[in-house]
Amino acid sequence: MPVMMIVKQPRTIREKLLNLIVYIIKKRYLYLMCIPGLVYLAIFSYVPMYGVIIAFKDFSYTKGIMASKWIGFQYFGKVFATSDFFDTFRNSVLLSLLRLCINMPVPIILALLVNEIGSTAFKRIGQTVMYLPHFISWVAIGGITLTFLSETDGLVNIVIKRATGHTIPFLSSAGMFRGLIVGTTIWKEAGWGTIIYLASLSAINLELYEAATVDGANRFQKVWHISLPGIASVISIQLILQCGNIMNNGFEQIYMFQNPLNIRSSEVFETYIYKIGLLNTDFSYSTAVGLFKSIVNIILVIIANRGARLLGQATFY
Amino acid sequence: MKRYLAIIVAAILLMTVWSSAFAVYDPETDGVSVWDGEITTITVTDRLPGIQLENNPILKELERRIGVRLEISVLDAAQYNSLIASQIAAGDIPDMFYLWDNSSNVNFQKWAQEGLIWNLEELEDKIPNAFTWLNANDLAYGRVPSLDNGLYGLPRMQQLTPDAIPYRGDWLKKLGLEIPVTPEDLFEYCVAVSTQDPDGNGIDDTWGLFITQLGDKGGGLIDKNIREGFGIEPETVAYKVIPAQEGFMELMDFYHDLYAAGGIYPEFYLESDIYADQEAFRAGKVGTMFKTTSLDHTMPYRSNAAEAFYQNNPDGEVVAGYPLQPNGTTAADADSYFHYITMSCWGVFCISKAASEEAVDAACRFLNFGCTEEGVHLLTNGIEGINYKSWDPVLRTKVAFTQAEKEEPGHEERLINAISYLCVQQSWANYGKLTFGGNTPEEKAEYMRRYNELNHGYIVYDNIDTYPGYADLKTKNAELTTKLNDEMMVQYIVGGITREEFTDWLYNVYCPAWEEVEDIVTAVRGPKE
């Protein structure tokens, strides 16, 4: 019996290119909408990236970035030889891990709670109130926090002193610094962070909840078995993004709360780079530190992405 | 009718154009030289906090007199040095720029070595006044010792003013104390201010001392007004850095004990504003401030500062104290003690090698003019009738407009102040005072009384910043200096670390790193006697 074999012809590069062009033309409006974003990304993220080469150069003011002399990995050697570097590394990682473990779940819990609110008017007002702190700058929040937590005349310490007879050094204790950062981050960003989860929750089919109600599920069971699995892919993506930021703690917030008494806990890469790069104007060295930080972040993103894929969750690629 | 009218208007216009086009400067009427060549615009970057540049009459007058139009970029005053370094690193090099630091600035050395700025000695024929106005000690602030000791920046010298520590005279009376003379007196005063409610408001809200900017020399905790009370000498006299001297730990113990006794504002370490101590003093919350304060800071006429003080403390009084003497001495012993005072250089002006020939000429004209009596007067005092009422060149007294006169309608220009850091020099040649204080004869008499009382026993010494090799050592030890200032001293004062921990780090890590200072000073001054 003759067997008919269908042999798939290998597609040439030319054919692939043509197919791609046809596809792009077909979806042209979507691609047009991408252009501003791509241009923005290219101008502000990719073009300035050439500047990282000064980490491998002895930067000269007169010669500029391109013409300065190549010195290889000399500054990276200096990075690892500095005792402050390892303290900074430890502080950065510890603070980020705390943020990952504490600050990340808070918006999820808050979004699940808001989602359970029945009254639409109350829900909308509540959401608006939650978003507001996001729009206050860290400088203002720093001032507010100092006013409230000061040991001399801060409201919180006045109350504590009247109750216990002593004050708590929230602002000047190295041991309390991380708690201060985590707490103020929650206050400022937890509400804003719910947006993405609320959007995701609103996409869950309501029939699932109705079916669960018919089956006798209580509120907690509905949250556990429907809401949480419904936003699991978003949580996964957020986790990967957070992993990519594990060495980033932001500059303004840390700098606002940093003082000589908590510096052993508060020196992170951002403040360290600011001091050596801008204040001491050691541009090459600070770029080397920054580049090291970025490379670690990229590695962490890759690991987190691979981990999420192994667990069957949504991934970037 | 219309035709006649048009002819008359045209004639008036023609006459106006004619007269302006052929106007000739008449020195008899103007009294000053006027530039008759082309106007050159140069780009300048400077540190000019709170100065109105638009329609500034001083800049217009400058243009009229020397033909230089300054296109000025102003950078944030608090971070000036790092911002100008970033600007230059980005390739945006102004024709001329001010560097808010003296010759020990690392970038200044680097820019000179890389050929980014002119050696001003090569331009001497264009700025001859600078070399007669400033003496060799002054010029040392603009030199780069590692580069043939070339003059790469024109130092901006300030007038010498007696150092003085301001105290609250009204509080001293209430507390039954005399003006502090020794560390013990200061300790007693600070604790009394903190614990005895001298403002009488019934609230525990006054403190003896408010510490702000820290520093291993010059400012903050180790200010020259206080350190001699502990036997600490300048590096060029002691041949050691200050933390390596015996009196340093005595000074640190003084702060440590004073903090424990409640004499210092307890959360001083949270304050990043370097002028917070002055603000707290003006607000009537602290009893003294001694960070780089001079007699001028104790005078009631000091415009905005004094206004702020007297608004908050209508019955307050500021009195001037002499820099501290060692314990066991009294005010009567003042003549037996002396106080080290250095020439005060506040930054240097640099000219870019990338500037065009015309721009270099114009920048030189500006610097040269700034080193003349005419230039110093215009740039620091301004224009008579606009920036001040009158000037007495013999008594060197400037009568200012009162605030009410400044706010008179139609005289908005009176609100424009002189251009501060753009003044090339802030002293007459040989450091003569630019102005003797006071806006009225009474104020001037009071200033002179205090000046004569305090202006004795001063020894002018060399600043180690101008010694070859010190800038390199400073760069090498930058992180140690930061650690001492930003961490260790504060930690010890507030009790965050023990004395043993502090001295262990100080004598085993910090001081050994600065041992070269002895060689650096010896190379210039010879072996210590």
* B501 C-beta neighbours (distance < 10 Å), count: 13
Domain boundaries, chain B: 40-157+343-422, 165-338+437-522
Q: Choose the closest CB to B269 out of A60, A259, A281.
A: A259
* A191 C-beta neighbours (distance < 10 Å), count: 23
* B89 C-beta neighbours (distance < 10 Å), count: 18
The pair phi, psi for residue B214, each rounded to 5°, is -100, 160
Sign of CA dihedral B363, B364, B366, B370: positive
Tokens standing for residue B211:
């510490």
Tell me the three state secondary structure of residue B154.
Answer: strand
User: Given an 8 Å threshold on Cβ–Cβ distance, is B115 in contact with A62?
Assistant: yes
Instruction: Name B45's bridge partners.
Output: B73, B97
What secondary structure does DSSP assign to B207-231, as a single string?
EEE------SSBSGGGBHHHHGGGT
Question: Which chain B residue has the Cα nearest residue A153?
Answer: B205
**Cα–Cα distance between A29 and B309 in angstroms, integer?**
66
Q: What is the pLDDT of residue B362?
A: 95
Percent of chain A at pLDDT above 70?
97
Report which DSSP code applies to B418: P
Report whether pLDDT(B152) > 50.
yes
Flag whether residue B89 sits within 8 Å of chain A, measured between CB atoms: yes
Amino acid at A121: A
Tell me the three state secondary structure of residue B275.
Answer: coil
Which residues constitute the domain of residue A154?
Answer: 73-310
Amino acid at A37: G
Question: Which chain A residue has the Cα nearest residue B265?
Answer: A152
Highest mean predicted confidence (pLDDT) among A198-212, A265-279, B471-485: A198-212
10 Å CB burial of residue B76 (0-12, 13-18, 19+) is exposed
Chain A residues touching residue B482 (CB < 8 angstroms)? 275
User: Given an 8 Å threshold on Cβ–Cβ distance, is B114 in contact with A60?
Assistant: yes
Testing the interface with B: which of A62, A265, A276, A279 to mutate, by most B Cβ within 10 A? A62
Tokens standing for residue B496:
């965050």
pLDDT tens-digit series, residues A211-246: 999 999 999 999 999 999 999 989 988 888 888 788
- Beta strands B286-288 and B390-392: pairing type? unpaired
Minimum distance, in Å, between the CA of residue B270 and any CA atom of chain A = 6
Report whether pLDDT(B65) > 90.
yes
**Cα–Cα distance between A136 and A184 in angstroms, integer?**
12
* B466 C-beta neighbours (distance < 10 Å), count: 25
Evaluate whether residue A194 is within a structural domain. Answer: yes
Q: Are B102 and B344 in contact (CB under 8 A)?
A: no
pLDDT tens-digit series, residues B385-422: 888 888 877 767 777 787 788 888 887 777 777 777 88
* B92 C-beta neighbours (distance < 10 Å), count: 12
**Cα–Cα distance between A188 and A131 in angstroms, integer?**
8
Amino acid at B276: A
Nearest residue to A196 (alpha-carbon basis) of A289, A108, A97, A80: A108
**Cα–Cα distance between B226 and B327 in angstroms, integer?**
12
B335 alpha carbon, distance to own chain's centre: 27
Report whether pLDDT(B24) > 60.
no
Q: What is the pLDDT of residue B218?
A: 40
User: Given an 8 Å threshold on Cβ–Cβ distance, is B85 in contact with A64?
Assistant: no
Report whether pLDDT(B507) > 70.
yes
Interface predicted TM-score (ipTM) of this complex, two decimals: 0.74
- Beta strands B154-157 and B345-351: pairing type? antiparallel
Minimum distance, in Å, between the CA of residue B172 and any CA atom of chain A = 25
Q: Return the exposure string of A34-50: e unless at least 16 CB atoms fall within 10 Å of the residue's CB, then b.
A: eeeeeeeeeeeeeeeee
User: What's the domain count of chain A?
Assistant: 1
Testing the interface with A: which of B206, B214, B270 to mutate, by most A Cβ within 10 A? B270
What secondary structure does DSSP assign to B72-108, as a single string?
EEE--GGGHHHHHHHHHHTT---SEEEESS-TT-HHH
User: Given an 8 Å threshold on Cβ–Cβ distance, is B89 in contact with A281?
Assistant: yes
At which residue do the structure tokens 């390199």 appear? B472
Amino acid at B151: L
Tell me the three state secondary structure of residue B426.
Answer: strand
Flag whether residue A233 sits within 8 Å of chain B, measured between CB atoms: no
User: Given an 8 Å threshold on Cβ–Cβ distance, is B267 in contact with A172?
Assistant: yes
Q: Return the exposure string of B328-351: e unless at least 16 CB atoms fall within 10 Å of the residue's CB, then b.
A: eeeeeebeebebbbbbbbbbbbbb
Evaluate whether residue A21 is within a structural domain. Answer: no
The pair phi, psi for residue B461, each rounded to 5°, is -120, 165
User: Given an 8 Å threshold on Cβ–Cβ distance, is A62 in contact with B491?
Assistant: no
Percent of chain B at pLDDT above 70?
86
Q: Who has greater pLDDT, A106 or A313?
A: A106
10 Å CB burial of residue A4 (0-12, 13-18, 19+) is exposed
* B30 C-beta neighbours (distance < 10 Å), count: 11
Nearest residue to B180 (alpha-carbon basis) of B194, B193, B165: B165
Sign of CA dihedral A189, A191, A197, A203: negative
Report whether pLDDT(B334) > 80.
no
Q: Return the exposure string of B234-264: e unless at least 16 CB atoms fall within 10 Å of the residue's CB, then b.
A: bbbbbbbbbbbbebbbebbebbbebbeebbb
Q: What is the pLDDT of residue B210?
A: 87
Amino acid at A194: T
User: Given an 8 Å threshold on Cβ–Cβ distance, is A62 in contact with B116?
Assistant: yes
Q: Are B240 and B356 in contact (CB under 8 A)?
A: no
Q: What is the pLDDT of residue A231?
A: 92
Query: B-contacting residues of A 269-298, CB under 8 Å?
Result: 275, 278-281, 283
Report the residue count for chain A: 317
Identical fold for domains B40-157+343-422 and B165-338+437-522, yes or no, is yes
At which residue do the structure tokens 């990967």 appear? A240
Evaluate whether residue A271 is within a structural domain. Answer: yes
Chain B residues touching residue A62 (CB < 8 angstroms)? 114-116
User: Given an 8 Å threshold on Cβ–Cβ distance, is B491 in contact with A261?
Assistant: yes
**Cα–Cα distance between A292 and A78 in angstroms, integer?**
12
Chain A residues touching residue B221 (CB < 8 angstroms)? none
Q: Choose the closest CB to B91 out of A64, A279, A280.
A: A64
- Estimate the crossing angle of helix A232-244 against helix A283-310, to 10 degrees: 150
Mean pLDDT of chain A: 88
**Cα–Cα distance between A44 and A59 in angstroms, integer?**
22
Chain B residues touching residue A171 (CB < 8 angstroms)? 267, 270
Evaluate whether residue A209 is within a structural domain. Answer: yes
pLDDT tens-digit series, residues A173-189: 889 999 999 999 999 99
**Cα–Cα distance between A141 and A148 in angstroms, integer?**
10
- Beta strands A68-70 and B339-342: pairing type? unpaired
Nearest residue to B367 (alpha-carbon basis) of B151, B132, B127, B131: B127
**Residue B239 half-sphere exposure, CB side, CA atoms within 13 Å?**
11
Q: Are A304 and A239 in contact (CB under 8 A)?
A: yes
- A31's CB contacts (< 8 A; 6+ apart) are A24
Question: Which chain A residue has the Cα nearest residue B115?
Answer: A62
Report whether pLDDT(B104) > 90.
no
Chain B residues touching residue A150 (CB < 8 angstroms)? 267, 270
Tell me the three state secondary structure of residue A249.
Answer: coil
Report whether pLDDT(A257) > 80.
yes
Q: What is the CA radius of gyration of chain B?
A: 26
**Cα–Cα distance between A275 and A88 in angstroms, integer?**
12
- CATH code of the domain containing A268: 1.10.3720.10
Question: Which chain B residue has the Cα nearest residue A54?
Answer: B89
- A3-17, B69-83, B309-323, B364-378: segment of lowest average pLDDT: A3-17
Tokens standing for residue A186:
């929650």
* pLDDT class of B259 with cuts at 50, 70, 90: very high
Q: Which fold has domain B165-338+437-522?
A: D-Maltodextrin-Binding Protein; domain 2 (3.40.190)
* pLDDT class of B107 with cuts at 50, 70, 90: confident
User: Given an 8 Å threshold on Cβ–Cβ distance, is A281 in contact with B478?
Assistant: no
pLDDT tens-digit series, residues A8-65: 565 788 888 999 999 999 999 999 999 999 999 999 989 888 889 999 998 888 888 8
Q: Choose the closest CB to A280 out of B86, B478, B487.
A: B478
Question: Which chain A residue has the Cα nearest residue B478?
Answer: A280
- From residue A111, alpha-carbon distances to A94, A115, A237, B105 in Å are 26, 6, 16, 53
Flag whether residue B110 sits within 8 Å of chain A, measured between CB atoms: yes
Flag whether residue A64 sits within 8 Å of chain B, measured between CB atoms: yes
Q: Choose the closest CB to A278 out of B82, B265, B496.
A: B82
Evaluate whether residue A190 is within a structural domain. Answer: yes
Query: B-contacting residues of A 142-161, CB under 8 Å?
Result: 146, 150-153
- For B40-157+343-422, CATH gives 3.40.190.10
Report which DSSP code applies to A70: E
pLDDT tens-digit series, residues B428-478: 766 566 666 666 667 777 777 777 776 666 777 888 888 888 888 888 888
Nearest residue to B521 (alpha-carbon basis) of B244, B162, B307: B244
- From residue A150, alpha-carbon distances to A136, A163, A173, B273 in Å are 20, 16, 12, 17
Question: In the 3-class helix/strand/coil scheme, how is B17-74 assigned residue by residue?
Answer: HHHHHCCCCCHHHHCCCCCCCCCEEEEEEECCCCCCCCCCHHHHHHHHHHCEEEEEEE
Query: A-contacting residues of B 178-217, CB under 8 Å?
Result: 205
**Cα–Cα distance between B117 and B104 in angstroms, integer?**
16
User: Given an 8 Å threshold on Cβ–Cβ distance, is B79 in contact with A84?
Assistant: no
Tokens standing for residue B134:
């400033």
Chain B residues touching residue A50 (CB < 8 angstroms)? none
Q: Choose the closest CB to A259 out of B111, B114, B270.
A: B270
Amino acid at B316: G
Q: Are B43 and B10 in contact (CB under 8 A)?
A: no
* pLDDT class of B19 with cuts at 50, 70, 90: very low
For chains A and B, count residue pairs whose Cβ atoms are closer than 8 Å: 64
Q: What is the pLDDT of residue B454?
A: 67
Starting at the earlier edge strand, list the strands of the sheet with B318-321: B207-209, B286-288, B165-168, B318-321
User: Once rounded to an integer, what is the mean pLDDT over residues B244-272?
Assistant: 92
User: Given an 8 Å threshold on Cβ–Cβ distance, is B114 in contact with A150?
Assistant: no
